[in-house]
A and B are shown apart, each in its own frame.
Chain A
Amino acid sequence: MSVTLDIRLKRANKVYHEGEAVTGVIVLVCKEALQHHGITLNMEGLVNLQLSSKSVGVFEAFYNSVKPIQLISSNIEVAKAGKIPGGKTEIPFEFPLQTKGNKVLYETYHGVFVNIQYTLRCDMKRSLLAKDLSRNCEFIVHCQPQKAKVVPTAVNFTITPDTLQNIRDRNVLPKFLIRGHLDATNCVISQPLTGEVVVENSDVPVKSIELQLVRVETCGCAEGYARDATEIQNIQIAEGDVCHGLSIPIYMVFPRLFTCPTLETTNFKVEFEVNVVIVLHDDHLITENFPLKLCRV
């Protein structure tokens, strides 16, 4: 006897804001009538913190302290023990997305060391002989738009051999002059990162110009913290020996789920940076780093 359990949210994009109601239906499809011991629906919002392997040794002492932080949790009984008729049954539900106390609903974020996730879990208890059924469904929370106006301020940059830091031998460097600007470093998350880069001249041909989006996650507590930077995505904006003096657009869409508005709490921080990476034909790698501040308007 087969039965399928599914949760369907009303919104196609599954995006909800604080204060709204998460609505949807539980869909049960079975061929014959089905006996069960109750169906429950559980909504939970969690922040999972994980320590990177390289920092585990140092912080082993307070390993236990990084347990998940619960942001929201509520439970309802959808149906009491009983029978479901054969065919397709839809049970509507509605959860208010409201926090208790002074907790804040952070925006959904899938990272490496920090994960902020909201799920709906539907459980159907059944008799001893049959397995319990369970179904998970993630929904996405966008935080409330920021009140303050975002004023974009352009950031200009010029890269020459002289502007570079941490190089061993400045003499082996080929000559180059790369200029450009980012239209803003305080970016609206739903809008792309834009700007321009111009290779004014370069002795060695350019092989590739890339935009590297980096997340900087910091986990910690009173005793100390771990800060890790990892790549989210790498977007190539120029390939091959580009025409000198011609401005090449910088354009990157912030990926959903993997980015969120820059977040700073007592236990963890999520920040973003972008690197403009220029690879020369002799495999010299020139990087210019820009911290970003993401926000939602």
Chain B
Amino acid sequence: MAAVQWRSRGRNYDAELQRCRPEAALVEFGDYHPLKPIMVTDTKTRRGARKGSTSSSSSSSSSAPADPLSSMLDGTDPLSMFAAASATEAPAMTHSSSTGDLGRKRREKEEEAVGLDFEHWSSKRGEILARFTTTEKLSINLFMGSDRGKALSPGSSAVSEKVRTRLEELDDLEEGSQRELLNLSQQDYANRIEELNQSLKEAWASDQKVKALKIVIQCSKLLSDTSVIQFYPSKFVLITDILDTFGRLVYDRIWTMCSDPRPLPDGFTVEDVNDTAKETCLNWFFKIASIRELLPRLYVEAAILKCNRFLNKSGIQETLPRLTAMIRGIGDPLVAAYTRAYLCRVGMEVAPHLKDSLNRNFFDLLGTFRQISAESVQNQLVLQRVEVPEYLTLYSPAINWILQCIAYRAPEPLLTEMMERCKTLGNNALLLNSVMRAFRPEFVAARATDFISMIKECDESGFPKHLLFGSLGRSLACADPPESERLTILNEAWKVITKVRSPQDYVNCAEIWVEFTCRHFTKREVNTVLADIIKHMTPDRAFEDAYPQLQSVIRKILTYLHDFSVLFSMERFLPFLDMFQKDSVRVEVCKSIMEVFIRHQVELTRDPVILNAMLHICKTMHDSVNALTLEDEKRSLALLIIGFIRMVSFGRDFEQQLSFCVEARATFCNLEPVLVQLIHTVNQLAMETLRVMRGSHSRKTAAFVRACAAYSFITIPSLSSIFSRLSLYLLSGQVALANQCLSQSDAFLQAAVSVLPEVPRSISVEGKLRSSESFLLDFINNFLATLLVVPDHPEHGVLYLVRGLLNMVQDYTWEDNSDAKVRVYVSALPVLAAMSQETYLYSIPKVDSNETLYGGDPKFLSEINKLCETLIGQILDHLKALGRDEQNPRRQGALAFSLFGVLLAHGDLRNNKLSQLAVNLWNLSHKHGFCETRISVRTLEFIKHQAQQPDMAHLSDTVQRLALQSRT
């Protein structure tokens, strides 16, 4: 049967290594070399580089390695270059080009644009909609046949044709279009308004401008209706959306009318607008001026305020004060306040530099404040059964907005003046609240004590004080009050907060002040605050309704307190966590704590306080895992826990560390990645021990290392993923071997071999089913490489593990039609060849490998050779089988070539039979022409090169017999 006789080639690894070292070649300094510092010679002149500071980049060469990324971005980045370019173009397009004019224009532009620091309406929108809700039934009353139509049709005999068609259009709509929608829920109402918004757009698109205007008028009329007053702010939001849409539509239309032949530049002037556009624009204003009712007229004119730009330069400047004054005609203070808010909003958008009318609006608002206590308002409140405090809160979005507009980039004296005015109005709580919310936090913070005394003085009846303290707290969270006042501020504020009865109100306010406390005070104060919150929230399980606020408390504490030993040493922190009793919330809180821990805990820790608390938190997270938990969720939890485990170190106290791992294993048994990490940690621990002992274990450490191995050995089987098990067995085996635990290492490797048959043929990778073959081949190759240094067990036979592995490979049910088994055989040959060397390629300190055990015993060598021969026999059989099957010439060729390669590298080709076999394999691989000629040629060159080495002369004979395929 032994058709071939294997003889391994003797190797001298050291000499080979020497030969393989490349000759050191000197690189000429001027030569190109990829790793040389990059020379940047930048001769581009940048258009956008107008700032004097960056213009030095015209021509520079740097000798230091320049980072290509930063060199790209130095000076101006591409985006701002665009902006700069357009800024230069815009004035160029207008007729004037004198430099002074240019400068003025730019200045204007800066004034006009509202900076990014201005909080836009869109961000307030959602908040208002969410806050002002109602369960009462609402109604929409739309009179589509508006009075305006009647007003415009005074004479029926002599109206022009155009007007007549318009009027007919009106009549059409008038019939049956007066509808009153009753009993709408809030959602229905919002939907209706959205429908109106849509029909406005449709009407506009289908050129029914009159209908569009009518929709807008009807909608703004709804704003004078204050029934269901709690919903009014939300109604305002919904309806002003429509007005905004309308304003945009009108503006865009007129804009496109003058964009022929080329679009208007951004900073266009009246002269650029053509007559038709002006006439259309004027028409709109005349139409709106004849709207009968005050409120729609105001709103609609405000909505198209921007269109004044088409008509004259000072239009906006004149209209704003006029509209501001007209608002005085609105009797209902709430309606008036919101109208003012809308006007300010439009004004801010269109002409932010016109501050005067903003101030005017606010002063008018103050002037009409007494209206709130007037009889008609009070009657209405009684009728709708709304309490005064609730009614007052309805004002806050409007007043806040107005004040925000005023306070935006306002000089300090103005703000002081505003404050004084509020004071003269008897410290009206509502105003005070808005002032604190709208003015710059720095401003408020600097006068925090003043504000506190004002809050104390203002009368309790209207506006709840905790809201005032909430607003103050919000400002103090962003800006720092003077150092000396901080403690008094906190004491004063908390005195009030702690007296708030309703848990919901209390927690809303407390949540805000936690930030201030964390910013400026130590754990003692924070702890007190936490204790107070716990005290308030525990009765009647009030915390159940306040999870978002409580979570925010935790978040704020975590932002400021990164020292976890301090954090956990606060008595009240863990009890605070205990308030999160709903599972999902609790896990979320734990996760956020863990995230902060991982991000900010830099040093490894052994602090028992931290460890206990963190273990508790991790356990909470771990225990939330159940059968229904999603894979992703599990993965993220596992990552967080792993992050914690990696931060734990007991320094030299290895035993403690091991016992921690034991505890962790018991705690986190459901999360496989955590177990894997634990095994890695323990392996690392063993290696660390070895390093500390400088390679030789004492009796005590040897026992410890064995304990580590035992830990791994009993943990691995509990993993379900077969490949983690395999690789961990191998890794732990290697670690055990390195630590001179031979029997443990044997056990690991044996276990690995015995697990092999269980490997499924396909595994799921990222949700897709993949063949496991390549993973398995990788593993086996890795395993084989390790086996080189594993000494044989004295009681088992020679090469017990190699044989065992090969037997397993033979018995494994490989995929049909796969060469995997044979490929394993091919890759086993080099290992066997390496084993038969006198000195092994690598070895483990203090472990005697087979080279020393057998000392080159001929019996051992012949045993190896026999094994090789069997393998080659198997391979050849397989090649024959492939040959029979005509479809697989490519596979046959590749396999034959790889065996040829192994023979060449590891076989002793002086042996005639082997060299004959090699020649045959070469021919076989080239038989069907699937071999890449390039590789063949290089192989031949390599062999020729090898043949020049001493002891290798025989190769030149072989080369003679290797025919290269003709290239036809």
Contact = CB atoms under 8 A, between A and B. Distances in A.
B294 A237 contact: yes
B158 A253 contact: no
Nearest to A252: B289
Contacts of A110: 154-155, 158-159
A263 interface: no
Contacts of A231: 154
Given A236-B292, A243-B368, A249-B322, A111 B154 contact: yes
B329 A237 contact: yes
Interface residues of B, number: 42
B224 interface: yes
Nearest to B289: A253
B157 interface: yes
Contacts of A248: 325-326, 328-329
A239 B325 contact: no
Interface string B729-758: 000000000000000000000000000000
Contacts of A112: 154-155
Given A206-B331, A249-B325, A238 B294 contact: yes
Contact of A242 (B151, B275, B279, B328): B328
Contacts of B367: 243, 246
B158 A117 contact: yes
Interface stretch (B370-378, B630-638, B691-699, B903-911): B370-378
Interface string B135-165: 0000000000000000110110111110000
A243 B325 contact: no
A240 B331 contact: yes
Most buried by A among B158, B328, B368: B158
A261 to B, nearest CB: 18
B775 interface: no
B86 interface: no
Contact of A241 (B157, B289, B322, B374): B374
Interface string A35-57: 00000000000001010000000
A185 interface: no
Contacts of B330: 238-240, 242
A190 to B, nearest CB: 11
B376 A256 contact: no
Nearest to A198: B328
A238 B158 CA distance: 33
B328 A241 contact: no
A233 B159 contact: no
B290 A242 contact: no
A87 to B, nearest CB: 22
B276 interface: yes
A241 B158 contact: no
Contacts of B224: 239
A237 B286 CA distance: 16
A234 B279 contact: no
A12 interface: yes
A98 interface: no
A232 B289 CA distance: 13
Interface of A is mostly: strand
Interface string B702-715: 00000000000000
A12 B328 contact: no
Nearest to B335: A240
A120 to B, nearest CB: 12
Contacts of A206: 331
A138 interface: yes
A111 B159 CA distance: 9
Interface in B284-326: 285-286, 289-290, 292-295, 297, 322, 325-326
B194 interface: no
A99 to B, nearest CB: 21
A115 interface: yes
A251 interface: yes
B286 A253 contact: yes
Contacts of B160: 138
Interface in B266-291: 274-276, 278-279, 282, 285-286, 289-290
Contacts of A73: none
A102 interface: no
B329 A238 contact: yes
A160 interface: no
B803 to A, nearest CB: 99
B332 interface: yes
Contacts of B285: 253
A255 interface: yes
A283 to B, nearest CB: 16
Nearest to B371: A243
Contact of A205 (B158, B297, B376): B376
Interface string A248-277: 110111011010000000000000000000
A10 B448 CA distance: 67
Contacts of B325: 248-249
A247 interface: yes
Nearest to A115: B158
A209 interface: yes
A236 B331 CA distance: 12
A11 interface: yes
A13 to B, nearest CB: 5
Contact of A233 (B155, B292, B370): B292
A186 interface: no
A5 interface: no
Interface in A136-167: 136, 138
B376 A240 contact: yes
Most buried by A among B282, B294, B295, B376: B294
A287 to B, nearest CB: 17
A131 B155 CA distance: 31
Contacts of B297: 235-236
Interface in B28-80: none
Given A12-B278, A13-B275, A110-B154, A251 B331 contact: no
B590 to A, nearest CB: 56
Given A138-B160, A230-B154, A239 B328 contact: no
Contacts of B376: 205, 240-241
Contacts of B155: 110-112, 115
Nearest to A138: B160
A205 B367 CA distance: 18
Nearest to B367: A246
Interface in A197-253: 205-206, 209, 215, 230-243, 246-249, 251-253
B329 A235 contact: no
Contacts of B370: 243
Contacts of A258: 154
B382 to A, nearest CB: 15
Given A50-B157, A110-B159, A240 B290 contact: no
Nearest to B332: A240
Contacts of B276: 12
B295 A239 contact: yes
Contacts of A136: 161
B290 A255 contact: yes
B163 to A, nearest CB: 8
A247 B328 contact: yes
Contacts of B159: 110
Interface string B778-801: 000000000000000000000000
A12 B273 CA distance: 12
Contact of B329 (A11, A50, A239, A255): A239
Interface in B149-194: 151-152, 154-155, 157-161
A256 B290 CA distance: 10
Q: Closest 6 interchain pairs by CB?
A: A240-B331, A238-B329, A115-B158, A253-B289, A12-B275, A241-B331
6 contacts: A11-B275, A110-B159, A233-B152, A233-B292, A236-B297, A255-B289
Interface of A: 11-13, 48, 50, 110-112, 115, 117, 136, 138, 205-206, 209, 215, 230-243, 246-249, 251-253, 255-256, 258
Given A236-B294, A241-B376, 6 more contacts: A48-B157, A111-B158, A115-B158, A233-B151, A239-B332, A243-B368
